[in-house]
Amino acid sequence: MDYPWRVKQRQADEHVARFAAACDEYVNAANLSLRNERNVQTGTIRVRLHADAEPPLSLGATIGDVLHNLRSALDSVAWEACLRAGVPQSREREVQFPIGTDPARWPTLAGRQLPNLSPEDLEVFRGLQPWFWDEEARAHGIEDLRSTAERHALAKLHMFARIDRHRVPHPVLARAGHNWLGHDGDVTIDFADVRYWDARPGDVVMEWRVDPPERVADVQPDGEVVMALSEEGARERQPALTELRAMQQAVVQATRAVEIGVLEVVSQADLDGLGRLEREFHDAQEAVRTLVASPHVIDADYIERRRLAADAERVAQAAYLDRWRELFE
Protein backbone atom coordinates (compact mmCIF):
# COMPACT_ATOMS: atom_id res chain seq x y z
CA MET A 1 0.00 0.00 0.00
CA ASP A 2 1.23 3.49 -0.83
CA TYR A 3 1.14 6.45 1.54
CA PRO A 4 1.22 10.22 0.94
CA TRP A 5 4.54 10.75 2.71
CA ARG A 6 6.20 8.06 0.60
CA VAL A 7 4.91 9.74 -2.56
CA LYS A 8 6.37 13.05 -1.38
CA GLN A 9 9.69 11.38 -0.58
CA ARG A 10 9.87 9.95 -4.07
CA GLN A 11 9.16 13.41 -5.46
CA ALA A 12 12.03 14.74 -3.35
CA ASP A 13 14.26 11.96 -4.72
CA GLU A 14 13.48 13.07 -8.28
CA HIS A 15 14.25 16.70 -7.47
CA VAL A 16 17.55 15.74 -5.80
CA ALA A 17 18.54 13.82 -8.93
CA ARG A 18 17.57 16.82 -11.08
CA PHE A 19 19.61 19.12 -8.84
CA ALA A 20 22.66 16.83 -9.07
CA ALA A 21 22.46 16.82 -12.86
CA ALA A 22 22.02 20.61 -13.02
CA CYS A 23 25.01 21.15 -10.71
CA ASP A 24 27.18 18.95 -12.89
CA GLU A 25 26.04 20.84 -15.98
CA TYR A 26 26.84 24.20 -14.39
CA VAL A 27 30.23 23.14 -13.03
CA ASN A 28 31.27 21.71 -16.40
CA ALA A 29 30.13 24.81 -18.29
CA ALA A 30 31.38 27.48 -15.88
CA ASN A 31 34.99 26.29 -15.52
CA LEU A 32 34.96 26.67 -11.74
CA SER A 33 38.44 27.08 -10.34
CA LEU A 34 40.63 28.93 -7.86
CA ARG A 35 43.21 31.23 -9.44
CA ASN A 36 46.29 32.46 -7.65
CA GLU A 37 47.86 35.91 -7.88
CA ARG A 38 51.41 36.22 -6.48
CA ASN A 39 53.12 39.41 -5.34
CA VAL A 40 56.84 38.95 -4.71
CA GLN A 41 57.17 42.43 -3.19
CA THR A 42 54.60 41.85 -0.42
CA GLY A 43 54.92 38.07 -0.24
CA THR A 44 51.19 37.56 -0.72
CA ILE A 45 49.21 35.02 -2.69
CA ARG A 46 45.62 35.95 -3.36
CA VAL A 47 43.25 33.11 -4.15
CA ARG A 48 40.47 34.31 -6.41
CA LEU A 49 37.28 32.43 -7.21
CA HIS A 50 36.76 32.02 -10.96
CA ALA A 51 33.63 31.06 -12.87
CA ASP A 52 32.52 31.99 -16.36
CA ALA A 53 29.00 32.55 -14.99
CA GLU A 54 27.23 32.60 -11.65
CA PRO A 55 25.10 29.59 -10.72
CA PRO A 56 21.59 29.94 -12.19
CA LEU A 57 18.74 30.80 -9.85
CA SER A 58 16.97 27.67 -11.10
CA LEU A 59 19.30 25.68 -8.83
CA GLY A 60 17.79 27.48 -5.85
CA ALA A 61 14.28 26.77 -7.13
CA THR A 62 15.09 23.07 -7.39
CA ILE A 63 16.40 23.14 -3.83
CA GLY A 64 13.07 24.66 -2.85
CA ASP A 65 11.28 21.73 -4.50
CA VAL A 66 13.40 19.27 -2.51
CA LEU A 67 12.80 21.10 0.77
CA HIS A 68 9.06 21.41 0.18
CA ASN A 69 8.59 17.71 -0.50
CA LEU A 70 10.77 16.58 2.39
CA ARG A 71 9.04 18.88 4.88
CA SER A 72 5.64 17.91 3.50
CA ALA A 73 6.47 14.22 3.91
CA LEU A 74 7.16 14.80 7.61
CA ASP A 75 3.98 16.82 8.08
CA SER A 76 1.98 14.21 6.22
CA VAL A 77 3.06 11.35 8.46
CA ALA A 78 2.44 13.55 11.53
CA TRP A 79 -1.08 14.32 10.29
CA GLU A 80 -1.81 10.62 9.76
CA ALA A 81 -0.73 9.94 13.35
CA CYS A 82 -3.00 12.69 14.69
CA LEU A 83 -5.89 11.68 12.45
CA ARG A 84 -5.76 8.14 13.82
CA ALA A 85 -5.67 9.63 17.31
CA GLY A 86 -9.00 11.33 16.69
CA VAL A 87 -8.03 14.86 15.67
CA PRO A 88 -10.83 16.31 13.50
CA GLN A 89 -10.16 17.42 9.93
CA SER A 90 -10.84 21.01 10.96
CA ARG A 91 -7.56 21.05 12.93
CA GLU A 92 -5.38 19.79 10.11
CA ARG A 93 -3.61 23.15 9.70
CA GLU A 94 -2.41 23.00 13.30
CA VAL A 95 -0.59 19.72 12.85
CA GLN A 96 3.10 19.60 11.94
CA PHE A 97 5.98 17.26 12.44
CA PRO A 98 7.67 19.08 15.34
CA ILE A 99 11.35 19.89 14.89
CA GLY A 100 13.08 21.79 17.67
CA THR A 101 16.58 22.42 18.94
CA ASP A 102 15.66 23.26 22.55
CA PRO A 103 14.54 20.32 24.72
CA ALA A 104 12.97 22.68 27.25
CA ARG A 105 10.39 23.70 24.63
CA TRP A 106 9.46 20.16 23.66
CA PRO A 107 6.29 19.82 25.80
CA THR A 108 4.84 23.04 24.37
CA LEU A 109 5.90 22.22 20.80
CA ALA A 110 4.55 18.67 20.92
CA GLY A 111 1.30 19.71 22.58
CA ARG A 112 0.63 22.35 19.95
CA GLN A 113 1.69 20.44 16.84
CA LEU A 114 0.74 16.87 17.77
CA PRO A 115 -2.64 17.13 19.51
CA ASN A 116 -4.31 14.02 20.96
CA LEU A 117 -1.28 11.76 20.66
CA SER A 118 -0.66 9.34 23.51
CA PRO A 119 2.50 9.62 25.64
CA GLU A 120 3.81 6.48 23.95
CA ASP A 121 3.35 7.94 20.47
CA LEU A 122 4.81 11.29 21.51
CA GLU A 123 7.89 9.43 22.72
CA VAL A 124 8.52 8.21 19.16
CA PHE A 125 8.53 11.80 17.88
CA ARG A 126 10.64 12.90 20.85
CA GLY A 127 13.29 10.34 19.91
CA LEU A 128 13.56 11.93 16.47
CA GLN A 129 14.31 15.44 17.74
CA PRO A 130 17.67 17.02 16.83
CA TRP A 131 18.53 17.42 20.53
CA PHE A 132 17.55 13.89 21.61
CA TRP A 133 20.98 12.28 21.67
CA ASP A 134 22.52 15.31 23.36
CA GLU A 135 20.02 14.83 26.19
CA GLU A 136 20.67 11.11 26.32
CA ALA A 137 24.38 11.80 26.73
CA ARG A 138 23.70 14.25 29.55
CA ALA A 139 21.42 11.73 31.22
CA HIS A 140 24.41 9.38 31.35
CA GLY A 141 26.60 12.00 33.00
CA ILE A 142 28.34 13.45 29.94
CA GLU A 143 28.17 17.18 30.55
CA ASP A 144 30.96 18.80 28.54
CA LEU A 145 29.76 18.12 25.04
CA ARG A 146 29.13 20.38 22.09
CA SER A 147 25.48 20.39 21.10
CA THR A 148 24.75 18.79 17.75
CA ALA A 149 21.12 19.93 17.56
CA GLU A 150 21.67 22.93 15.29
CA ARG A 151 23.73 20.83 12.87
CA HIS A 152 21.24 17.95 12.74
CA ALA A 153 19.85 17.27 9.26
CA LEU A 154 16.24 17.76 10.39
CA ALA A 155 17.09 21.08 12.05
CA LYS A 156 18.70 22.23 8.81
CA LEU A 157 15.68 21.09 6.83
CA HIS A 158 13.36 23.01 9.15
CA MET A 159 15.47 26.16 8.82
CA PHE A 160 15.92 26.03 5.05
CA ALA A 161 12.27 25.14 4.42
CA ARG A 162 11.19 28.16 6.48
CA ILE A 163 13.52 30.41 4.49
CA ASP A 164 12.19 28.98 1.25
CA ARG A 165 8.57 29.66 2.24
CA HIS A 166 9.12 33.32 3.05
CA ARG A 167 11.82 34.50 0.65
CA VAL A 168 12.98 34.08 -2.89
CA PRO A 169 14.51 30.59 -3.12
CA HIS A 170 18.09 30.92 -1.98
CA PRO A 171 20.52 30.32 -4.82
CA VAL A 172 23.43 27.94 -4.49
CA LEU A 173 26.63 29.86 -5.08
CA ALA A 174 30.19 28.85 -5.83
CA ARG A 175 32.24 28.90 -2.63
CA ALA A 176 35.84 28.33 -1.72
CA GLY A 177 36.34 24.83 -0.41
CA HIS A 178 39.51 23.24 0.90
CA ASN A 179 42.71 25.20 0.24
CA TRP A 180 46.27 24.34 1.05
CA LEU A 181 49.80 25.56 0.44
CA GLY A 182 52.80 23.34 -0.21
CA HIS A 183 56.29 24.50 0.80
CA ASP A 184 59.67 23.10 1.81
CA GLY A 185 59.61 24.24 5.45
CA ASP A 186 62.02 27.19 5.10
CA VAL A 187 59.28 29.80 5.00
CA THR A 188 56.64 31.13 7.37
CA ILE A 189 53.05 31.06 6.18
CA ASP A 190 50.18 33.12 7.63
CA PHE A 191 46.53 33.31 6.66
CA ALA A 192 45.59 36.87 5.88
CA ASP A 193 41.93 36.40 5.05
CA VAL A 194 39.42 33.63 4.52
CA ARG A 195 36.04 34.21 2.92
CA TYR A 196 34.09 30.98 2.97
CA TRP A 197 30.68 32.48 2.49
CA ASP A 198 28.88 34.74 0.03
CA ALA A 199 31.67 34.70 -2.53
CA ARG A 200 31.01 35.61 -6.14
CA PRO A 201 33.07 34.88 -9.25
CA GLY A 202 36.05 37.21 -9.15
CA ASP A 203 36.10 37.58 -5.33
CA VAL A 204 39.27 36.97 -3.33
CA VAL A 205 38.40 34.09 -1.02
CA MET A 206 41.77 33.57 0.65
CA GLU A 207 45.06 35.34 1.04
CA TRP A 208 48.37 33.82 2.13
CA ARG A 209 51.38 35.75 3.42
CA VAL A 210 54.81 34.29 2.88
CA ASP A 211 57.94 35.30 4.78
CA PRO A 212 60.47 36.01 3.40
CA PRO A 213 58.46 37.63 0.57
CA GLU A 214 60.85 36.63 -2.20
CA ARG A 215 60.01 32.96 -1.53
CA VAL A 216 56.43 33.46 -2.65
CA ALA A 217 57.31 32.04 -6.05
CA ASP A 218 58.49 28.78 -4.45
CA VAL A 219 55.33 27.77 -2.62
CA GLN A 220 52.58 25.81 -4.36
CA PRO A 221 48.98 26.80 -3.55
CA ASP A 222 46.17 24.47 -4.45
CA GLY A 223 42.52 23.97 -3.61
CA GLU A 224 39.04 23.18 -4.80
CA VAL A 225 35.67 24.83 -5.21
CA VAL A 226 32.43 23.45 -3.81
CA MET A 227 28.81 24.34 -4.49
CA ALA A 228 27.64 24.93 -0.93
CA LEU A 229 24.22 25.42 0.60
CA SER A 230 25.26 26.94 3.93
CA GLU A 231 28.16 28.75 5.53
CA GLU A 232 28.89 25.68 7.63
CA GLY A 233 28.85 23.54 4.51
CA ALA A 234 31.34 25.86 2.80
CA ARG A 235 33.61 25.89 5.85
CA GLU A 236 33.55 22.10 6.16
CA ARG A 237 33.81 21.50 2.40
CA GLN A 238 30.38 19.89 2.31
CA PRO A 239 28.66 20.35 -1.06
CA ALA A 240 25.01 21.34 -1.26
CA LEU A 241 24.16 17.95 -2.73
CA THR A 242 25.64 16.21 0.32
CA GLU A 243 23.56 18.35 2.68
CA LEU A 244 20.39 17.70 0.70
CA ARG A 245 21.01 13.97 0.70
CA ALA A 246 21.58 14.04 4.46
CA MET A 247 18.19 15.73 4.90
CA GLN A 248 16.66 13.23 2.51
CA GLN A 249 17.99 10.30 4.55
CA ALA A 250 16.92 11.86 7.85
CA VAL A 251 13.36 12.23 6.57
CA VAL A 252 13.28 8.60 5.41
CA GLN A 253 14.47 7.46 8.83
CA ALA A 254 11.97 9.70 10.65
CA THR A 255 8.93 8.68 8.62
CA ARG A 256 9.92 5.03 8.90
CA ALA A 257 10.18 5.33 12.67
CA VAL A 258 6.65 6.79 12.81
CA GLU A 259 5.35 4.13 10.44
CA ILE A 260 6.68 1.42 12.75
CA GLY A 261 6.31 2.97 16.19
CA VAL A 262 3.06 4.92 15.83
CA LEU A 263 1.08 3.96 12.73
CA GLU A 264 2.13 0.30 12.69
CA VAL A 265 1.80 0.18 8.92
CA VAL A 266 4.84 -2.05 9.26
CA SER A 267 4.18 -4.51 12.07
CA GLN A 268 6.63 -6.18 14.40
CA ALA A 269 5.86 -9.45 12.65
CA ASP A 270 6.81 -7.79 9.34
CA LEU A 271 10.07 -6.57 10.84
CA ASP A 272 10.84 -9.98 12.33
CA GLY A 273 10.24 -11.62 8.96
CA LEU A 274 12.42 -9.04 7.21
CA GLY A 275 15.15 -9.61 9.78
CA ARG A 276 15.00 -13.35 9.15
CA LEU A 277 15.38 -12.81 5.40
CA GLU A 278 18.31 -10.45 6.02
CA ARG A 279 20.05 -13.05 8.17
CA GLU A 280 19.49 -15.70 5.51
CA PHE A 281 21.02 -13.39 2.92
CA HIS A 282 24.06 -12.71 5.12
CA ASP A 283 24.43 -16.45 5.79
CA ALA A 284 24.38 -17.11 2.04
CA GLN A 285 27.01 -14.40 1.51
CA GLU A 286 29.19 -15.93 4.21
CA ALA A 287 28.82 -19.38 2.64
CA VAL A 288 30.18 -18.04 -0.64
CA ARG A 289 33.08 -16.27 1.11
CA THR A 290 33.91 -19.38 3.13
CA LEU A 291 33.89 -21.58 0.05
CA VAL A 292 36.14 -19.19 -1.89
CA ALA A 293 38.58 -18.82 1.04
CA SER A 294 38.80 -22.55 1.79
CA PRO A 295 41.58 -24.73 0.32
CA HIS A 296 40.25 -26.13 -2.91
CA VAL A 297 41.05 -27.43 -6.35
CA ILE A 298 39.20 -25.83 -9.22
CA ASP A 299 37.62 -28.94 -10.62
CA ALA A 300 34.12 -29.85 -11.76
CA ASP A 301 32.98 -30.53 -8.19
CA TYR A 302 34.21 -27.15 -6.90
CA ILE A 303 32.71 -25.28 -9.85
CA GLU A 304 29.33 -26.90 -9.18
CA ARG A 305 29.47 -26.10 -5.46
CA ARG A 306 30.47 -22.52 -6.27
CA ARG A 307 27.58 -22.19 -8.71
CA LEU A 308 25.06 -23.52 -6.19
CA ALA A 309 26.35 -21.20 -3.45
CA ALA A 310 26.20 -18.17 -5.77
CA ASP A 311 22.65 -19.11 -6.84
CA ALA A 312 21.60 -19.43 -3.20
CA GLU A 313 23.10 -16.00 -2.46
CA ARG A 314 21.20 -14.39 -5.35
CA VAL A 315 17.92 -16.01 -4.30
CA ALA A 316 18.36 -14.90 -0.68
CA GLN A 317 19.28 -11.38 -1.72
CA ALA A 318 16.28 -11.08 -4.03
CA ALA A 319 13.91 -12.36 -1.32
CA TYR A 320 15.24 -9.84 1.19
CA LEU A 321 15.21 -6.85 -1.19
CA ASP A 322 11.78 -7.69 -2.60
CA ARG A 323 10.28 -7.88 0.87
CA TRP A 324 12.04 -4.67 1.91
CA ARG A 325 10.51 -2.86 -1.08
CA GLU A 326 7.08 -4.27 -0.28
CA LEU A 327 7.29 -2.83 3.23
CA PHE A 328 9.00 0.50 2.68
CA GLU A 329 8.58 1.68 -0.91
Q: Residue 109 domain-assigned? A: yes
Query: Confidence band (pLDDT; 50, 70, 90) for 243?
Result: very high
Same domain, 243 and 101: yes
Q: Residue 45 domain-assigned? A: yes
Q: Residue 135 domain-assigned? A: yes
Same domain, 133 and 243: yes
- Rounded to 5°, angle at Cα 228 from 222 and 232: 95
Same domain, 247 and 280: no
Q: Residue 42 domain-assigned? A: yes
**CA 163 to chain CA mean position, Å:** 18
Same domain, 57 and 108: yes
Alpha helices in the chain (DSSP H): 4-30, 57-84, 106-113, 119-126, 132-139, 153-166, 231-235, 240-258, 268-293, 300-328
- 50-93 pLDDT per residue, tens: 899 888 889 989 999 999 999 999 999 999 999 999 999 999 99
Half-sphere exposure in the Cβ direction for 287 (13 Å, CA): 17
pLDDT at 259: 94
Q: Mean of the per-residue pLDDT values for the chain?
A: 87
User: Does residue 177 register a pLDDT over 70?
Assistant: no
Same domain, 248 and 298: no
Query: Confidence band (pLDDT; 50, 70, 90) for 157?
Result: very high
Same domain, 97 and 140: yes
Same domain, 23 and 152: yes
Q: Residue 229 domain-assigned? A: no
- Rounded to 5°, angle at Cα 271 from 265 and 273: 125
Region 119-148: mean pLDDT is 84
Query: Confidence band (pLDDT; 50, 70, 90) for 6?
Result: very high
pLDDT at 169: 57
Same domain, 298 and 314: yes
- 293-319 pLDDT per residue, tens: 999 888 889 888 888 998 999 999 999
Q: Residue 105 domain-assigned? A: yes
pLDDT at 195: 67
Same domain, 92 and 140: yes
Same domain, 75 and 149: yes
Asked if 11 contacts 70 with a C-beta cutoff of 8 angstroms, the reply is: no
Same domain, 253 and 288: no
Q: Residue 33 domain-assigned? A: yes
Region 244-273: mean pLDDT is 92
Which string of b and e fits 283-304 if b means at least 16 CB within 10 Å?
Answer: ebeebeeeeeeeeeeeeeeeee
Q: Give the domain range for residue 10.
A: 4-168+237-263
Contacts of 212 (CB under 8 A, 6+ apart): 43, 187
Q: Residue 246 domain-assigned? A: yes
- 184-218 pLDDT per residue, tens: 667 788 877 676 667 788 888 888 888 888 888 88
Same domain, 253 and 272: no
Higher pLDDT: 320 or 114? It is 114
Q: How many domains does the chain have?
A: 2
